[in-house]
Amino acid sequence: MANTTEITLPDIGDFKDVEVIEVLVSAGDAIGVDDSLITLESDKASMEIPSPAAGIVEEVKVRVGDIINQGDLLVILREDVSPEETAPVAPPKPVETHPTPPPPAPGEKKAKPLPIAPTRADMPGRKAHASPAVRRFARELGVDLSRVSGTGPKGRITKDNVQAFVKGALSGGPAAAGGGSLALPSMPAVDFSKFGEIEEIELNRIKKISGAHLHRSWITVPHVTQFDEADITELEAFRKSLKDEAEKQDVRLTFMPFLMKACEAALREFPVVNASLSTDGEKLVLKKYINIGVAVDTPNGLVVPVIRDVDQKGVYDLARELMEISGKAREGKLGPADMQGGCFTISSLGGIGGAQFTPIVNAPEVAILGVSRAAMKPVWNGKKFKPRLVMPFSLSYDHRVIDGAEGVRFTTWLSALLSDIRRLVL
C-alpha cells in the first residue's frame, strides 16, 4: 500500500490568519521537493509554501479564500510512486528547437524574444514556477503563466519572461502563433439600470476608431511623461505685434505655428524623437522629414491631421495651412491621407484650460507634446519677482526609444527656445 504524508502549514513567522490566494497543485499532480503548493497573502506580504517532500498529490485540503494558520493541513501526498510517475519532478530540460541562446557573436543578430513552446500546458502535472509578485503581474495583464517559459533558476518565470510573452503576442510573434492566451481582462458587465434611469448612446465612428488606436498605443508603449514649463512672455508679445501684418495676408496668427516651428527645431536637434521603432523592436527608423500632427477638437471627437514638411514652411504658411485643415476636420472632410505620415504630435488644451496632463503617444510615433493654458506668474529674476506669462507643457514618450535624460534634455531645450524665439535663427 502506498505511504501517504500529510503536509501542513509550517512556521511562517509572525503571521496569523493568512488567506490562501492561489492553490498551485491539484490531485494527481507529480511534485518534487520545494515545488510550490499554495500562495498566501497577508497584510504585509505574499509568499509561496513549498513542499518538503516529493510524490503524487493525493488530495488538496485547502481552497482559494481559506484562512489558515500554522499546522493546518494543506495536502496529502502519496510518496511511493514509480520512476515513471516521478519523472516529471525534475525541471524540464530545454527543448532542442528552442535552447537558451548564447551571447550573440560579433556581427550576429540579437536573439528574438523568448519563444513559448513547449509550454507547461503540454506537460501534465507541472505548475508554473513563479514568485507571487510575478503571478500578480501576470494576472494584471491577463497572461496564462502555463504558456510562458521561464529562464530563471530551475525554469522559474521572471517578470521579463512575462513581458516578452506579452510583446510577442501583441506583435503577432511566437506567443500569438502558439495560441498564447493573452486575454487582457475586460471590465465586468454591470446592470446600471438597477441603480436608476439610464440611456445608452452609440459611440460615433471617430471615437470607436480612435479609442481602439489609443488602447493599442497605451498597452504596447511603455509611457513616461516629463513635465516642464516655458516663459513665453516675449514670444506672445511678438505674436501680437504681427497681428496687423497677418490680417493683411488674410491669416489668423495663433500661437500654434510658433510652437510648431520650435518643435521642428527641437526634432532636428534630437533626431531620436523624430523616429519610430521597427515592428520587431530591433531597429530605429530615423526620419529625414518633419511632419507634425496637430490634435483638433471636433463635434464628433478628436482627430489628428498632419502638417507635412514643417521645416520647409514659414509661420504664415503654417498658420494658413492650419486654418484650412482645421476647417476640414470640423466639417468632417478629412481624408485618410490628411492623417498619415506624422512624426510627432502636438495636443494643445490651452484654449480650454487645465494645468498639465499626460497625453498618450500616437504610435508608431515615439513622443507627443501636451500643451496647457499659459498663465501670468511671479518669476524671480535674481533681484525681484516680475510677472511673466508661463506655459506648462508635457512630453510623453516611448521609454524603449527615449530615456529619461534624453526626454528632459528635449523639454529643457524646447523651453529655452520658446522663451527666446530668436534662437531659431542660430
Flag whether 109 is in a domain. no
Beta bridge partners of 266: none
pLDDT at 85: 44
Q: Cα dihedral sign for 411, 416, 422, 424? A: negative
Flag whether 196 is in a domain. no
Q: What CATH number corresponds to the domain at position 39? A: 2.40.50.100
Distances (CA, A) of 306 to 292, 296, 365: 6, 10, 12
- Quote the number of domains for the chain: 3
Flag whether 153 is in a domain. yes
Instruction: Identify whether the C-beta of residue 307 lies closer than 8 Å to the C-beta of residue 263.
Output: no
- In this structure, the answer to whether residues 60 and 158 fall within a common structural domain is no
- In this structure, the answer to whether residues 229 and 154 fall within a common structural domain is no
Flag whether 193 is in a domain. no
Which residues form the domain of 136? 114-185
User: Active site residue: 98, 213, 223, 399, which one?
Assistant: 399
Residue with cell 479609442: 211
Flag whether 254 is in a domain. yes
Q: Which of 292, 322, 323 is nearest to 310 (CA)?
A: 292
- Give the Cβ contact number of residue 365 at 10 Å: 26
Cα 213 to Cα 293: distance, rounded to the nearest angstrom: 15
Q: What CATH number corresponds to the domain at position 327? A: 3.30.559.10
Number of helices (H), then strands (E), belonging to the chain: the values are 10, 19
Rounded (to 5) percent helix, strand, coil in the chain: 30, 25, 45
Instruction: Identify whether the C-beta of residue 195 lies closer than 8 Å to the C-beta of residue 364.
Output: no
Residue 228 CB partners (closer than 8 Å, separation 6+): 392, 393, 394, 395, 408, 411, 412, 414, 415
Q: What are phi and psi of 60, to 5 degrees?
A: -100, 130
Spans of the chain below 70 pLDDT: 1-2, 42-46, 80-128, 132, 154, 170-186
pLDDT tens digits for range 322-342: 999 999 998 888 888 899 999
Q: How far is CA 201 from the centre of its chain?
A: 29
How would you class 221 by CB atoms within 10 Å of its CB: exposed for 0-12, middle for 13-18, buried for 19 or more?
buried
Flag whether 352 is in a domain. yes
399 is an active site residue: yes
Instruction: Identify whether the C-beta of residue 395 lies closer than 8 Å to the C-beta of residue 408.
Output: no
Cα 324 to Cα 305: distance, rounded to the nearest angstrom: 11
pLDDT at 127: 59
- In this structure, the answer to whether residues 209 and 344 fall within a common structural domain is yes
Flag whether 98 is in a domain. no
Q: What CATH number corresponds to the domain at position 125? A: 4.10.320.10
Cell of 229: 514649463
